[in-house]
Amino acid sequence: MRALIISNYLEEPGTRDKYRAVAALGVNLLVATPGGSATTEASVRYAPVAVRGSPEEPATRRWHLPTLRRLFSEHRPELLHLEADPDSHLTGDAAALAQKARCPYVVFSWRSLPAPLGLLARRRARAVLRNAGGVIGGNHLAMNLLREEAPAALATAIPLAGVPFPELRPPTPTDAITLAFAGRLVPERGADLLIRALGQTFGKWRLMIAGTGPEQVALEATIQRLGLASRIRWLGGLRREALDEVFREADVLVVPSRDTAEWVEYHSPVLLEAMSHGIAPLVTRSGCLPSLVGEAGVVVEGIEQLTEVLQAWVADPSAARVIGGQARQRVLDRYVTGAVAGQTVAFWRATLDHPPTGPT
């Protein structure tokens, strides 16, 4: 299979690793890059394209159309894979070129909430999705948004890239359980829910908090009021060293996020990386979190359920460690780079076997 990838996400961690894994599956892969120089890395060819506009506003950037047209002509892809929101200029231009070349295309997007779009952007998105052979959401929320405008296209949920899979840390037998929270200290991340739940949790536990933010002063006051200060260790901002300490010591990672009208948890690399270390995930029913952990974790709704699970695991830490093993296996099966690449190529092949959904 010959495939062309055009992406607004080239600088995200793990993206190029995924491309190499895709090429290793026998795909003749060409990736268009915004600027730079022509290179080849592990059988992946990168072709530079001049781009106008700010990297901070990828939807408004304009890629040089004659260069994109030349890539279609020279590479003759059997499939185009677009990693950009469907209303972006890049997606609109590249999809139009694919239609002229009679090349099926797939659209990937992370967008997990409806976006307020102008008239032209809405028209562009509808035209792109109406003629797409397949759509990939970075999570199930994003997939469902894409499918609303592309009901006849094949649809699936696959993250943009995979996560590393570390060696399993040696267990540290103890009758106490170590909990962790990692994230910015803002209301949406729900650290206050965790602190309030721990105020009602009895037994041997301790909590590490990796993160800073505007809610820290209020959280510290709540911790003092509940008499929990001696059990909680602040690690500061999300430095790599802080996360290493979390992954080395934690039995459970708690992700108690809240959805709002403007924000949902669309992806959580920290959660997946913790799961890959055999750390049990305890999450709220927010955004993509339930679909990430599946049956290899616990999903709660509200502070009462959160307190109930915490109390059960404090009483029996071995139960959390069993779930940690299941979480590690889930990452290996679904979220490492090789698994993400394999799912992506399988979806491409299914798209090529799928009848066209719109006019050519």
- Give whole-number Cα distances, 127 to 46, 68, 356, in Å: 28, 19, 14
DSSP letters of 100-160?
HTT--EEEEE---S-----HHHHHHHHHHHHT-SEEEESSHHHHHHHHHH-TTSEEEE--S
User: Domain spanning 2-162+336-353 has what CATH number?
Assistant: 3.40.50.2000
- How confident is the model at residue 247, as a pLDDT? 93
- How confident is the model at residue 355, as a pLDDT? 64
Task: Read off the DSSP letter of residue 296.
Answer: S
User: Domain spanning 177-334 has what CATH number?
Assistant: 3.40.50.2000
State which residues of the chain have pLDDT below 50: 357-360
Structure tokens belonging to residue 95: 């999809």
- How confident is the model at residue 239, as a pLDDT? 80
- Give whole-number Cα distances, 320 to 35, 250, 281, 282, 311, in Å: 48, 11, 9, 9, 11
Structure tokens belonging to residue 194: 């965790």
Which residue carries 């540290």 as its tokens?
Answer: 172
- How confident is the model at residue 358, as a pLDDT? 43
Question: Is there a contact between 132 and 357 (Cβ–Cβ < 8 Å)?
Answer: yes
DSSP letters of 309-322?
HHHHHHH-HHHHHH
Where exactly does CATH 3.40.50.2000 map onto the chain?
2-162+336-353, 177-334
Question: What torsion do the CA atoms of 155, 289, 86, 162 make, to the nearest 10 degrees?
Answer: -80
Q: What percent of the chain has a predicted confidence (pLDDT) above 70?
A: 98
- How confident is the model at residue 173, as a pLDDT? 66
